Each structure stands twice: as C-alpha cells, then as structure tokens.
Structure 1
Amino acid sequence: MRISELRERVRTAREDEGSTEALRQWLDRKLPELHRTIRMRDEAGNTLFNFIQAYIERVPDILEAAQSVANHAKMRPQLIPVLKVAEDFFLQPSATPESDRGLLVLLDEAYLAHRLVEEVNDRYVNHGGESLIPMSNTKANVIVYELLGEEYANQLDAAVDEAVKGLLPEEVFESPAFLAYKAGIDEQARQDMWRRWPNMAEELGVGLSWRDNP
C-alpha cells in the first residue's frame, strides 16, 4: 500500500496557504446545522476544527494499522484489496469546488476511507470474528455525515457499500482463511499491535459527545 503517498497528500493539503481559513469558514457555516444530539466543549469552532483535522490526518495511520492487522491475521489476500480501495478514495483527484482549499478538499475522501474501514470491521464482527480494529470510529463518522449533509453523505455511503459488497462477498466468510482467522484470534497480540497509535480514538473524538436526552 502507498502509505507514504497518503501522508504526503495530507502534508501538502495542510500546508496549502488557504487551508486553515477555508476549513474554518466552512465549519462556521455548518456548525449551526449540527444535530442537537451532538455537542462540544467550550469554543465549539475550535473543537470542531481540531476534530476534523484529526479525522483527515489519521487516515494514513488507520490504513497502515489495518494493513498490519490483515498481515497478522493472515487475511492479507482478503483485506488488502478492500483497503486499497480506501487508499484510492483518498488519493484520487477531488471534484470539489475551486473555493475549497487544503484539508477541506480531503474531507470527502477521508469520510469514504473511514466508512470503508468501519464497514469491513462490522462485517467481520457480524460473521463471528473479533473486531479487526480495537477502536470505534462510528461516532466520528456520524458527525462527519452530519457535516456533509444527508443527501451527499448517502451517495458516499452507497459507494462504500458497493465496494465492500464487490470485494467482500459472503463466500469470504466461509473460506478456510476466515475460519482459521476466527479460530486463531490472539486478542493480546492484536491490542499490542495497536499500541503504536495509543491516542487515535481520542483524537478522532476530540471534545465531542452525545447528549443523554436528544
């Protein structure tokens, strides 16, 4: 996988002269539209800005970690093609308005990558395997879904569903490789592998929580 290219794309986007201003202005417009179940600590604009930065910038780390898990679980032939779709989502030229700059250009692609990893994770769990990734990015994805807007986010979700269905058909979960993976899950080894990214979940959820009573 082209992890170094992913990191370079993030670096280039972040160093774009108008990156910070474009992202802050976009978030300022979106902030009043966030669902009432989503709240933030003081300085909501800064909290949301930091969250989105982390959400985008962690894509290379998440894909690299998922690749490590695939190798460890001896599921590389089954998982790497799916992860490469997420990689391609992130590296593809963006069809965003010219006014979008820097990191904002990568938000759509980051959502696609995060959602694809989430879907793969869920399918493995639903078929009796352990969670491939010992973190949940569901809350982060819901928040970005809200920011992108229901209609557009649903289009992105449809692209994710199509990719996963094509690359992870039901037969994969009946294969000898998957059955061997289920039988040989080593929880401690998997957790040890993920200690390389000890703050990932926290960074993805910076300052965001659910209200108890919507």
Structure 2
Amino acid sequence: MIRVMVIDDEALVRSGFELILGQDPDIDVVATSDGRSALEQIDHYGPDVVLLDIRMPDIDGLAILRAVLARPQPPVVAMLTTFDADEYVLQSLRLGASGFLLKDTDPHQLAMLVKTLAAGGVVLSPTVTRSVIRGFTAGEAVAAAGAAIERLSDRERLVLGYIAAGRSNREIAELIQHSTGTVKDDVSAILAKLGVGTRVEAALIAQQAGLLDRSAP
C-alpha cells in the first residue's frame, strides 16, 4: 500500500486528488493539508509520496520541499502546479523534487504516476515544455552533458532513456534483463558521467538529447 499525502492551499484540489487516488486499491491517501500544517502532518503520518503545491499564499512550497528533503528518511516529493513553464518548477527540480504534475493531469493517469514515484521513478508532466527543459539544462551544462552522453556505453545510454521515461530500477532491470543491482550501478555511473546528482536532472538531459524518443517503450 502506497501512503500518499496531498498538500495544497485549495480545499477543492485536495479533495479532488483524494477522491481520485482513493479509488485505487494500492493507494492510501493518509492525509491532506494546507501549507501551514504540512510539516507537522508529514512527520505524523509518514507518507511514502507527497504531492506538494508549488505556490501557496501562506507558505512557500519550496520552503516545505527543502524542509521535507532534509529529513533523515524523506518521502518522495512531486510538485503540483498549474503552469508547466513555471520558474518555481526549475527551482524545485534542482532542490531534489522527483518531478512535477500539472493539477489538470488526466485522472486516469494520476494513480499510475504516483506508483511510478513510489517505485523510484521520475515523473514529468506529459506537457513539460521545451522551455522547462532548456531552462534546466542551459548554457555550458548542456554542452558538457552532451559530451558526457557520448561517453556513455550503449547500455548506459539505454538505461538513461528509461530513466527519462520514468522507469524505476526494477522495471529497467526487467526490460534490459539484468539484475537490479547492475541497474543501480549503471544509474550511479550515469549520474557521475553527466555530472548531476538526481535522476530528474539526468532525465531532463536525456529529453534534451532526444534519448527518450529513441528508447523502447
């Protein structure tokens, strides 16, 4: 059972997400909260996945993100936003969010995306714009990452494509018919070669390089 918490300043959004996710037998929405009581509720309920509004009037969603990820065993956090090209999105990804969802995400996809997050995958809204990717991978970092991609082995390049597609290590292991341990080693090597610290950064670089389009489904 995946324990999920939804944090948003709008009660209608919270209740909507709770209703949709609550229909999946593998998901338990343990709590919903506005920003003011978010950290207290997270510590109390210990969710596996937190869906966090990126902009709230009473408290900055990025401040909550920083505080949550500073916990010894933090949950996976994905940001909720109404804008797919929001500067706050870039900041949240750099801080370590595992992705972001638009608030109008197709309800039929929502549970699947939460499961991807819980499994360790990356979730980027299907409407992630090129401007978001370019903003995240701008300047000299792009050139350096592009050169680094060329130094990846064929298997590492394939694994990177699957990371960009949101696949977890277990799923990648099944797809390439190697052990999960081998995939973990590949992911560590990919992050080191690309000079990034998170799967999200690697995923955005892969999208910029077009690897997602060339990876198998």
Q: When the two structures are superposed, what TM-score results if normalisation uses the length of structure 1?
A: 0.28
Say which structure, 1 or 2, has more relative contact order (CA 8 Å, 6+ apart). Answer: 1
| Larger helix percent | 1
| Larger strand percent | 2
Q: When the two structures are superposed, what TM-score results if normalisation uses the length of structure 2?
A: 0.27
